[in-house]
Amino acid sequence: MSVKFAVLGHGVVGSGVVELFYKNKESIEKRAGTEMELKYILDLRDFPDTPYADKFTKDFNDILNDDEVTAVCECMGGLEPAFTFVKSCLEKGKSVSTSNKELVAEKGDILLAIAKEKNCNFFFEASVGGAIPIIRPLHKCLAANEINEVAGILNGTTNFILTKMYNDNMAFDDALKLAQQLGYAEKDPTADVEGYDACRKICIISSLVYGKHVYPKSVFTKGISQIDLNDVQVADSMGYAIKLIANVKKLENGKILPCVMPMLVSHDNIISSVSDVFNAVLVDGDAVDKTMFYGRGAGKFPTASAVVGDLIDSVKHKVTVFSQSWESSEDDSFIESVDNFKAKWYVREAGKTPYITDNELTFAEAQKLSAEAVIPVLA
Amino acid sequence: MSVKFAVLGHGVVGSGVVELFYKNKESIEKRAGTEMELKYILDLRDFPDTPYADKFTKDFNDILNDDEVTAVCECMGGLEPAFTFVKSCLEKGKSVSTSNKELVAEKGDILLAIAKEKNCNFFFEASVGGAIPIIRPLHKCLAANEINEVAGILNGTTNFILTKMYNDNMAFDDALKLAQQLGYAEKDPTADVEGYDACRKICIISSLVYGKHVYPKSVFTKGISQIDLNDVQVADSMGYAIKLIANVKKLENGKILPCVMPMLVSHDNIISSVSDVFNAVLVDGDAVDKTMFYGRGAGKFPTASAVVGDLIDSVKHKVTVFSQSWESSEDDSFIESVDNFKAKWYVREAGKTPYITDNELTFAEAQKLSAEAVIPVLA
């Protein structure tokens, strides 16, 4: 008996999932330990010229009410109707694999609770770092560790822009235009450039690592639109690259401090070598010390690779993987205010040579400096 | 009811496993979903001053014949008695997690077959790349991919030596002495320096990725003892670092080609930034493109982290994880001869300026050049 699954959405990622499944069907089935059949693709558009045109449906209920379908890949993006569809699938005991970071960051706790209740799985490896295996390593391979800190380059668009500023001395606006021309940035680049995309991803990582749902609204987020080419060049001469870092730390008071900010990263830190659209996640655990995961953070097949990997795992696991889960948070009192974020800071004051502070200052203290630019240094 | 486990060997890694278990017991049990109890530590020596002195036994049969013990961590190293002990445990249905690369590289197929038959698990995340999660990501997260190539820096000792040659212009002998002083190299450094350690690790990766046991004797292995400081410097000026690369490729003829050799790695390749005792594994899959895993390849707690991570997973999985497995190989006809290894080559001929060949040559062709040094370039 083959396992039957459906794909919600036939955009970039969804079509990648379908193509990848047929391309590597034989080895995917071997790894899943069973034959697999793609039964439905949900999309409001018609795709008459694809080899699997007969799989398409415009009616979600075809999938929801078909008890043969036990696994679903959600690749629509956005909160609705994705949330309603995924929730309905899980309530029927269908496991879901998603690439939708907004969905996981805003509604993960609710969906994980339903999956647990119905003894199925809600998997989301593709929602953080695209192709990079990070969710499973964090909760499985590093399960023996207390995680002190996670610091990542989680947005490829901004890393591409910063790389162009750094390598080719392009101003921010020119680098953004180039990213748009190459298809790395959207027409409205706000979500990437202002750090909202990276914020969703650090919310997912923080929730998984520390066990309570962290909402985007609780996370201080600053993008790269204010980064001056001059600062990139001066930082380089001081031995640093400027990167948009999504970061979460466990503090001594027991709280966690997630944030997204441009930071100076020492050339000695391997994260500074992560360039172009590549992403990387550096994990600091009490036993492993520092370990890093690197790869393509977006793109059709890299993201599809993660979705299909999750699909295979959900076919193999008939019961809920409870370690890949977290609880709802009643309030954000477990999250420390960014005002208490401590670092050394790169400071540029009018008419003075830029410098790095000798001592750590809090975020609140750094903001009080009468400076034209203050950027923290990643420790 | 708590799950009871035993640790075989109380050397560097074994004592790390014990200490890490007690240090993070609460969160380890939470992730395992059950209480856990360390019941025995096997060692021929006495450790009267440890807080768990009562756990020690010198008699393996105490562990083997105790049906309460359902999981075992093997941290003894070497082929015997590790093989006999692990085999006996698996035959009794006790899951085993090991850090012993020699055991996995030489006997993995036999032990995996027994685990499958007895419906328990033989896990070995710690045997490759120490702290770096690589085994689980390869067979789980990247399960949707056909793996084209894996290239890794899998030995910390040689990477430390090459880093010292590169950064500090130290000759090989001096860098080796320093590594020995710092405890990174053993008195007899042969296994590290001549590439045998890296060879065992690429055997394990090759077996897992391509499904058939690859024995160390089938893998061409060349170490770094012949690397000249002059070549390190010239390569640098050409834009390359010299690294000891353990490599396996899937060829168009369906065979695989594993090997261990010093190679020139372009500064544009992030692997060239992996320095000191750090390890890294670069995986090229047909969907993910390139992804890299980086971290400490050895050391007490990093290695223990991987062993305990496996222990937690073996407690959670009551049945065999069959994707983390491979079959015995009757012969090595599925392995291509190194003679057909293709690359561009760095060539230094007497009295001439060193150069890199314009075209790819096979290993056999490169050996025929009347050169003082021929080193392949990692593509």
Can you tell me the ipTM of this complex?
0.91
A288/B311 CB distance under 8 A: no
| Residues of chain A above pLDDT 70, percent | 100
The model's pTM is 0.93
State residue B318's pLDDT score: 77
Encode pLDDT of A200-255 as tens digits: 999 999 999 999 999 999 999 999 999 999 999 999 999 999 999 999 999 999 99
Query: Which residue from A minimizes the CA distance to B131?
Result: A288
- pLDDT of B142 > 80? The answer is yes
d(CA B94, CA B112): 13
> Choosing from B201, B243, B249, B250, which is the catalytic residue?
B201
Query: From residue B103, how far is each of A378, B42, B46, B111, B134 by CA, in Å?
Result: 41, 18, 25, 9, 18
- pLDDT of A298 > 90? The answer is no
Interface test with B, best of A36, A139, A141 (most B CBs within 10 A): A141
A287/B302 CB distance under 8 A: yes
B322 at A interface, C-beta within 8 A: yes
What are the φ/ψ torsions at residue B352 (nearest 5 degrees)? -120, 160
A291/B287 CB distance under 8 A: no
- pLDDT of A140 > 90? The answer is no
State residue B341's pLDDT score: 98
B34-73 exposure pattern, b = at least 16 Cβ within 10 A, e = fewer: eebebbbbbbeeeeeeeeeeebbbeebeebbebeebbbbb
Query: From residue A314, how far is each of A3, A121, A134, A139, A143 by CA, in Å?
Result: 11, 6, 17, 16, 20
pLDDT-based confidence at residue B274 (cuts at 50, 70, 90): very high
B296 at A interface, C-beta within 8 A: yes
- pLDDT of A170 > 80? The answer is yes
Name the pairing type of β-strands B3-8 and B69-74.
Answer: parallel
pLDDT-based confidence at residue A107 (cuts at 50, 70, 90): very high
B133/A131 CB distance under 8 A: no
Encode pLDDT of B44-96 as tens digits: 999 999 999 999 999 999 999 999 999 999 999 999 999 999 999 999 999 99
State residue A135's pLDDT score: 92
State residue A316's pLDDT score: 87
Contacts of A142 in chain B (CB under 8 A): 133, 305, 309
Query: Which residue from B minimizes the CA distance to A283?
Result: B295
State residue A324's pLDDT score: 86
Encode pLDDT of B293-330 as tens digits: 999 988 999 999 999 999 999 998 878 887 788 999 98
State residue B122's pLDDT score: 97
Interface test with B, best of A12, A145, A312 (most B CBs within 10 A): A145
Query: Which residue from A minimizes the CA distance to B19?
Result: A287
Encode pLDDT of B279-290 as tens digits: 999 999 999 999
Q: Tell me the range of A29-33, A209-213, A318-322 where mean pLDDT is highest.
A: A209-213
d(CA B102, CA B203): 10
State residue B322's pLDDT score: 76
Calculate mean pLDDT across residues B252-278: 96
In chain B, positions 113-152, which contact chain A (CB-CB < 8 Å)?
125, 131-133, 136-137, 139-146
B301/A289 CB distance under 8 A: yes
Query: Which residue from B minimizes the CA distance to A275?
Result: B270
B146/A28 CB distance under 8 A: no
The catalytic site residues of A sit at 201
State residue B167's pLDDT score: 93
Calculate mean pLDDT across residues B220-239: 96
The residues facing B355 across adjacent strands are B347
Query: Which residue from B minimizes the CA distance to A303?
Result: B288
Across chain B, mean pLDDT equals 95
State residue B223's pLDDT score: 97
State residue A180's pLDDT score: 95
- pLDDT of A90 > 80? The answer is yes
Handedness of CA A125, A130, A131, A133 (dihedral sign): negative
CA distance B224 to chain A (A): 24
Across chain A, mean pLDDT equals 95
Contacts of A291 in chain B (CB under 8 A): 131-133, 293-296
A294/B289 CB distance under 8 A: no
Tokens describing residue B190: 């042969």
State residue B131's pLDDT score: 84
How many Cβ pairs closer than 8 A exist between chain A and B? 180
Contacts of A293 in chain B (CB under 8 A): 291-294
pLDDT-based confidence at residue B219 (cuts at 50, 70, 90): very high
d(CA A57, CA A41): 6
Contacts of B23 in chain A (CB under 8 A): 286
State residue A141's pLDDT score: 84
Interface test with B, best of A288, A314, A320 (most B CBs within 10 A): A288
Count of other CB atoms within 10 angstroms of residue B237: 8
d(CA B345, CA B366): 7
State residue A236's pLDDT score: 96
Contacts of A299 in chain B (CB under 8 A): 289
B290 at A interface, C-beta within 8 A: yes
Tokens describing residue B287: 């969907």
CA distance A155 to chain B (A): 16
Domains of chain B (ranges; CATH) run 3-131+300-316 (3.40.50.720), 136-297+337-377 (3.30.360.10)
A308 at B interface, C-beta within 8 A: yes
pLDDT-based confidence at residue B130 (cuts at 50, 70, 90): confident
State residue A98's pLDDT score: 97
- pLDDT of A363 > 80? The answer is yes
Please list, in sequence order, all residues whose beta carbon lies within 8 angstroms of the beta carbon of residue A343, skipping any fewer than 6 positions away: A263, A360, A361, A363, A366, A376, A377, A378, A379
A295/B288 CB distance under 8 A: yes
Contacts of B309 in chain A (CB under 8 A): 140-144
Query: Active-site residue B118, yes or no?
Result: no
A276 at B interface, C-beta within 8 A: no
pLDDT-based confidence at residue B125 (cuts at 50, 70, 90): very high
Query: Which residue from A minimizes the CA distance to B135?
Result: A141
CA distance B62 to chain A (A): 26
CA distance A371 to chain B (A): 34
Encode pLDDT of B8-47 as tens digits: 999 999 999 999 999 999 999 998 999 999 999 999 999 9
pLDDT-based confidence at residue A192 (cuts at 50, 70, 90): very high
Nearest to B287 among A289, A304, A323 (CB): A304
Contacts of B320 in chain A (CB under 8 A): none
Contacts of A322 in chain B (CB under 8 A): 33
